[in-house]
Amino acid sequence: MAKLHVSTTINGEPVEFLTEPGESMLDVLRGPLGLTGSKEGCGSGDCGACTITLDDRLVCSCLMLAAEAEGHEIRTIESMAEGETLHPLQQKFLEMAALQCGICTPGVLMAAKSLLERNPDPTETEVRFWLAGNLCRCTGYDKIVRAVLETAADMREAAR
């Protein structure tokens, strides 16, 4: 099978890889690129565990061909902390126990980060609908929503 050569940017670094034309971005991230923080819960865009950003827009990496990354910029959960410094959302999720098994957590965090970048002062309803594509079976979402709202408040305070 003829593989395609793809040049892209992942987490700020230039990356090149070969992909089969039908292969998803998630398969390439988790396979050859070893970025297993993005999880596969369904492969059909219904659970959000594979959430990444493509040119700063949230997408399910299972619903994107790896070939489409050519010339674009991708970010994954692996880029959320800066070195040893966790993103405020990551820190808040730990403090408020907004995760149990943790399998949905990378996707939830990526989605929540994107929300706060667009809307620094979301309502509970806005958080709930923004995160509706991130299934979590452990928490009932309560602590996740509270952690996002508290992080938003902290970040607004810090920005003053």
Partner 1 sequence: MNVISNKWIGQRTIRPDGADKVTGRAAYSADTTMPGLIWGKVLRSPHAHARIRSIDTSKAEALPGVKAVVTAKDIVDFPLDKPVMLGIQDMRWMCRNVMAREKALFHGHPVAAVAATSERIAQEACRLIEVDYEVLPHVIEIEDALKPDAPILHDFIKFDGKPSNIAGKLEHKLGDVDAGFAEADVIVERSFTTRPVHQGYIEPHSCLVSVSGDGKATIWSSSQGQFMVRAMTSLLTGIPQSDIRAFPAEIGGGFGGKTIIYLEPLAVVLSKKSGRPVKMTMTREEVFRASGPTSGSMSTVKIGATKDGRIVAAKGVFYLQAGALPGSPIRGAAGCAFAPYNIPNVHSLGFDVVSNRSKVAAYRAPGAPIGAYAAECVMDELAEALKMDPLELRLRNAAKEGTKAAHGPVFPRIGYEETIRAAMEHPHYSAPLGPNQGRGVASGFWFNAGGESSAQVNITEDGNVVVTTGHPDIGGSRASIANITAELLGIDYRKVSVLIGDTATIGYSNLTGGSRVLFASAMVVTQSTEKVIKTLCERAAKIWKIDPEAVEWEDGEARPAGDNAGKFPALSLAELAARATETGGPIGAGVQANTTGAEGGFATHICDVEVDRELGIVRVLRYTSFQDVGRAVHPSYVEGQMQGGAAQGIGWALSEEYLYDKQGRVDNASFLDYRMPVCSDLPMLDTVMIEVPNPKHPQGVRGVGEVPLVPPLAAVANAVYAALGHRFDSLPMSPPKVLAALEPAEA
Partner 2 sequence: MTDIRYLAPRTLDEAVGAFAAAAGAARILAGGTDLLVQMRAGVLRPGLIVDIKKIPEMTSIEETADGGFRIGAAVSGAALADHPKFGQVWPGVLEAVNLIGSTQVQGRASPGGNLCNGSPAGDSVPAMIAAGAIVTVQGPNGRRRMPVEAVPAGPGRTTLAPGEILVSFELPPRPAGSGDAYLRMIPRTEMDIAVVGCGVSLTLQDGVCTAARVGLGAVAPTVLLVEDAAKALIGSKLDDAALEAAAAACRAVCRPINDKRGTIVYRTKVAGVLLKRAAGIAAERAGRA
Interface with partner 2 (CB under 8 A)? 1-2, 4, 20-22, 24, 43-46, 48, 51, 54, 57-60, 62-65, 67-68, 70, 111, 114-115, 129-134
| In the block, residue with structure tokens 């929300």 | 115
Q: Minimum distance between the CB of residue 42 and partner 2, rounded to whole angstroms?
A: 10
For residue 98, count other CB atoms closer than 10 A to its CB.
26
Give the containing element (helix H, strand E) for 58. strand 57-60
- Listed residue (43, 78, 77) closest to 61, CA to CA: 43
125-154 binders of partner 1 (CB under 8 A): 125, 127-129, 131-146
Beta bridge partners of 158: none
What is the spatial distance between Cα 101 and Cα 146, in angstroms, rounded to a whole number? 18
The count of other CB atoms within 10 Å of the CB of residue 96 is 16
Using the rule CB under 8 A, is 96 a contact of partner 1?
A: yes
State which of residues 8, 10, 25, 39 lies at the interface with partner 1 (CB under 8 A): 39
Q: Which of 7, 18, 81, 117 binds partner 1 (CB under 8 A)?
A: 81
Footprint of partner 1 (CB under 8 A): 30, 35-44, 46-47, 49, 76-78, 80-81, 86, 90, 93-97, 99-106, 109, 124-125, 127-129, 131-146
